[in-house]
Amino acid sequence: MKTFLSFILKEAKHILRDKRTMLILFGMPVMLMLLFGFAITTDVKNVRTVVVTSFQSPQTQAAVERLAQSEYFTITQTVATPQEAELLIRNQKADMGLIPSPKGGGSDGLQWQIMVDGCDPNMAQQWTTYAQSILSQPIDAKHYTLPSPLEFPSPLGEGLGARSWLSVRLLYNPQMRSAYNFVPAIMGMLLMLICAMMTSISIVREKERGNMEVLLVSPVRPLMVIIAKAVPYLVLAFAILITILLMAHYVLAVPLAGSLFWILVVSTIYIILALSLGLLISNIAKTQLVALLLSAMVLLMPVVMLSGMMFPVESMPVVLQWVSAVVPPRYYIEAMRKLMIMGVGIADVAKEVITLTVMTLLLLAVALKKFNVRLE
Amino acid sequence: MISHLIHKEFLQIRRNAFLPRLIVLFPIVIMCVMPWVMQMEVKNVVVEVVDIDHTVASQRLIQQIAASNYFIFGGQRASYAEALKDIEKGKADIILEIRDGRYLIAANAVNGTKGSLGSAYLSQIVASGKGSPSLLLYNKHQNYKLFMIPALFAIVMMLMTGFLPTLNIVGEKEAGTIEQINVTPVAKWAFILAKLIPYWLIALFIITVSLLLAWLVYGITPAGPVVLIYLLAMLLALFFSSLGLIISNYSDTMQQAIFVMWFFVVCLLLLSGLFTPTRSMPDWAYATTYVNPMHYFIDAIRTVFIRGGGFAAIAHQVLALAAIGLAMSGWAVASYQKNS
């Protein structure tokens, strides 16, 4: 036991003495959390709008005024014809054009045509929805309310004067903060990266430098050598997990709705899975460069692209959906989104947890089976 | 003199077992697979209906939902609580409750875009008509691939013309061959220029392959002049190859160089407006886009490729890209030290 402890100590010293890598290990999560939490948003904000003044009335003035006062739209200029507005949008001087015409069936006898830059289909749709709901609010309202994302008034409901017959409720994330979606994803990506990539590189480095020979003839059993290598990374992974959870809660104000106990349990399973993957890679790879490339190609690309982190799995073609079914982070991210954000009980994530456990056992078994006691 | 140096660079690339294959295959694989993955469009949203009314109108509504492209009808549930249970299990995304002729749409908004867009589409179906007609310009069929393919050009260019030079000089340092260059009578600028030119040629090759594949595989062609796309690509290559060489000059090992480059690439990419509109960002993040060449490139290539703008539309971006690129290549020359 004492020799085992000294092995762990040796490994911990390896990690602690590499200052630059430590900086990246803790700097990367913090930077990613800040970028994803604050900078990467799809909020509707500052949409540059041009108004075509081919037809003008007090009503159009009032409607434009309302639009300008919302934080969503900025009226940049007014032009005389729709063609000019189109040119402005093409030259990226504006995102949206509003063309009023008198022959509408609306409550105030106004009809708005909304011309929108359709480059990004999602944003175009959101801008249109927001503009429609602001434009269709009754003119004579003394104090108009901005459409809160919680319930945007239906365009048609306004005309009928029955505002309450359709209501929209956004569950779990009423402000539509993108951090809610990304924090579990960042956890899935970073834990995989740290455990699998770092472990595999550190084991292969010993092989490359020829230290492995020395370690294998030491009185510690070969398996213990490898486990001693994994332990410091396990601790490191937990430290990063706690950092992310604390940052998510206190800096990004992401709720931890579910039970902390189960979040940690599921994360532990996932960390063990990632460590077994790292062990497996280190069995295959002969040099650090190969280990690096394997981790990057086999782990990083699928994790970012196919795990549903950024791009929803259900929008992919069926073949890619099958591929994504064997990507472990997909289940972890799914489980974390449910546990952390939606706050469901463990029974509702049973499917994901069982899949993860089975994958972990499978990988661990293969990794241990392939583990070579001697170098050729 | 410089032609010999360029010759040497090409020999080094060609003699490497891995690099030529990577240069040819990488753009092809990325262009063939990624457009299918990078779909942020909202479709296949599972809607469950809690129909308390059981009227003809509500039945018709259910048929409309089932017929829509965006939605999958997930079945009817007896109560809201029962349907909510399905959302918690991840089986459903949106609940539509119909009670006393009133409609309640409750959407799972953990993914904000999906939640808000899904409920917006559903309210349009329920309201069966729109207040103000909207006209989508340029991308009329709401094709997400058309939006993402110009962005993919940027990603491929960045990875190839950015990471290869990063490994170049530091590779010579690790192999020890840099010593020989240091004692040969070659001017610093000639050495750096000879390192940069091969990557510009690679960039030309990559952008040609990408344009051809976009046309052959997806039937997507640029709406604006192709010449401008080449001009933009070359300017971006100038920036990234210079950045790669600068990092390479300052690094001691390949691993270190890769990590530093990775850091810059992630920041440049996430803040470029490739995935999310830059105007939605908070002010401090928006301020960084003024010095982010990736932002100018994405803006300009989407204007040319999708909106069909001419040179006048992107003059400002071209100028900015050229200025940043030249400054960086100047730095690359300055940072190369002959005496270690």
Q: Tens-of-pLDDT digits for all 340 residues of chain B?
A: 788 888 888 888 887 777 788 788 888 888 888 888 877 777 788 888 888 878 887 888 888 888 887 888 888 888 888 888 888 877 888 888 888 777 888 888 777 778 878 887 787 777 665 456 667 677 777 777 888 888 888 888 888 888 888 878 877 777 778 888 888 888 888 888 888 888 888 899 989 988 898 888 888 888 888 888 899 899 999 999 999 888 888 887 776 787 788 888 888 888 888 877 887 788 888 888 888 899 899 888 888 888 877 787 788 888 999 999 999 988 988 888 777 6
Name the residue facing B116 among A114, A126, A157 (closest C-beta): A126
The two three-digit tokens of residue A253, written as one number = 């104000």
Residue B100 phi/psi, 5-degree rounding, is: 55, 40
Hey, is the C-beta of B256 within 8 angstroms of any chain A C-beta?
Answer: yes
Q: With H, G, I as helix, E, B as strand and everything else as coil, classify residue A243.
A: helix
Domains of chain B: 16-38+142-335 (no CATH), 45-127 (3.40.1710.10)
A120 and B303: CB-CB below 8 Å? no
The two three-digit tokens of residue B92, written as one number = 């459903």
Give the pLDDT band of residue A358 (cuts 50, 70, 90).
very high
A158 and B129: CB-CB below 8 Å? no
- Mean pLDDT across chain A, nearest whole number? 78
Residue B203 phi/psi, 5-degree rounding, is: -60, -40
Rounded to whole angstroms, the Cα distance separating B8 from B213 reads: 31
Hey, is the C-beta of B255 within 8 angstroms of any chain A C-beta?
Answer: yes
Q: Among all residues of chain B, which has the CA nearest to that of A18?
A: B256
Average pLDDT over residues A184-209: 82
- Strand runs (DSSP E) across A270-365, as ranges? none
Hey, is the C-beta of B42 within 8 angstroms of any chain A C-beta?
Answer: yes
Per-residue pLDDT tens over the stretch A30-79: 888 888 777 777 777 788 888 888 777 777 787 788 788 877 888 888 88
Per-residue pLDDT tens over the stretch B136-181: 677 777 777 888 888 888 888 888 888 888 878 877 777 778 888 8
The pTM (predicted TM-score) of the whole model is: 0.77
Residue A152: predicted pLDDT: 42
Residue B128: predicted pLDDT: 62
Answer whether B77's CB lies under 8 Å from B50's CB. yes
**Closest by Cα among B230, B265, B270 to B160:** B265
Is the ipTM of this structure higher than 0.90? no
Q: Among all residues of chain A, which has the CA nearest to that of B99?
A: A165
- The single-letter code of the amino acid at A63 is A
> Does residue A147 carry a pLDDT above 60?
no
Q: Which residues of A touch B312 (CB under 8 A)?
A: 91
Rounded to whole angstroms, the Cα distance separating A9 from A16 reads: 10
Answer whether B98's CB lies under 8 Å from B83's CB. no
Rounded to whole angstroms, the Cα distance separating A286 from A344 reads: 44
Q: Which residues of B touch A160 (CB under 8 A)?
A: none
Q: How far is CA A20 from the centre of its chain?
A: 26
Answer whether A95's CB lies under 8 Å from A117's CB. yes
Q: Among all residues of chain B, which has the CA nearest to that of A34?
A: B285
Answer whether A88's CB lies under 8 Å from B305's CB. no
Q: Among all residues of chain A, which has the CA nearest to that of B112?
A: A176
Residue A106: predicted pLDDT: 52
Q: Using the CB atoms, write b or e for B82-113: b if 16+ within 10 Å.
A: ebbebbbebebbbbbbbeeeebbbbbbbbbbb
Per-residue pLDDT tens over the stretch A168-190: 777 777 667 777 888 888 888 88
Neighbours of B275 (CB within 10 A): 17
Q: Which residues of B touch A36 (CB under 8 A)?
A: 270
Name the residue facing B299 among A31, A92, A171 (closest C-beta): A92
Nearest-CA distance from B163 to chain A in Å?
13
Name the residue facing B117 among A20, A122, A136 (closest C-beta): A122
Question: Helices (H), strands (E): how many in chain B?
Answer: 13, 5
Give the pLDDT band of residue A201 (cuts 50, 70, 90).
confident
Architecture of domain A47-165: 3-Layer(aba) Sandwich (3.40)
Q: Using the CB atoms, write b or e for A215-242: b if 16+ within 10 Å.
A: bbeeebebebbbbbbbbbbbebbeebbe
Rounded to whole angstroms, the Cα distance separating A177 from A42 reads: 8
Q: How far is CA B277 from the centre of its chain?
A: 12
Nearest-CA distance from A342 to chain B in Å?
7
Q: Where are the domains of chain A?
A: 2-39+177-370, 47-165
Rounded to whole angstroms, the Cα distance separating A110 from A63 reads: 10
A113 and B103: CB-CB below 8 Å? no
Residue A104: predicted pLDDT: 55
Give the pLDDT band of residue A159 (cuts 50, 70, 90).
very low
**Closest by Cα among A174, A150, A149, A193 to A332:** A193
Per-residue pLDDT tens over the stretch A308-341: 777 878 778 888 888 888 888 889 988 888 888 8
B259 and A39: CB-CB below 8 Å? no
A44 and B280: CB-CB below 8 Å? yes
With residue A136 as reference, give the H or E element that holds it.
none
Token pair 């006048």: residue: B312
Q: How far is CA B211 from the centre of its chain?
A: 15
**Closest by Cα among B309, B299, B300, B305 to B274:** B299
Q: Which residues of B touch A89 (CB under 8 A)?
A: 137, 307
Neighbours of A125 (CB within 10 A): 23
Nearest-CA distance from B73 to chain A in Å?
15
Q: Which residues of A touch B303 (CB under 8 A)?
A: 90-92
Rounded to whole angstroms, the Cα distance separating A52 from A139 reads: 19
> Does residue A143 carry a pLDDT above 50?
no
Q: Which residues of A touch B320 (CB under 8 A)?
A: none
Best of A49, A91, A158 to substitute, by most chain B Cβ atoms within 10 angstroms, is A91
Nearest-CA distance from B76 to chain A in Å?
19
A116 and B136: CB-CB below 8 Å? yes
Q: Among all residues of chain A, which has the CA nearest to that of B111?
A: A181
Name the residue facing B136 among A90, A118, A344 (closest C-beta): A118
Hey, is the C-beta of B69 within 8 angstroms of any chain A C-beta?
Answer: no
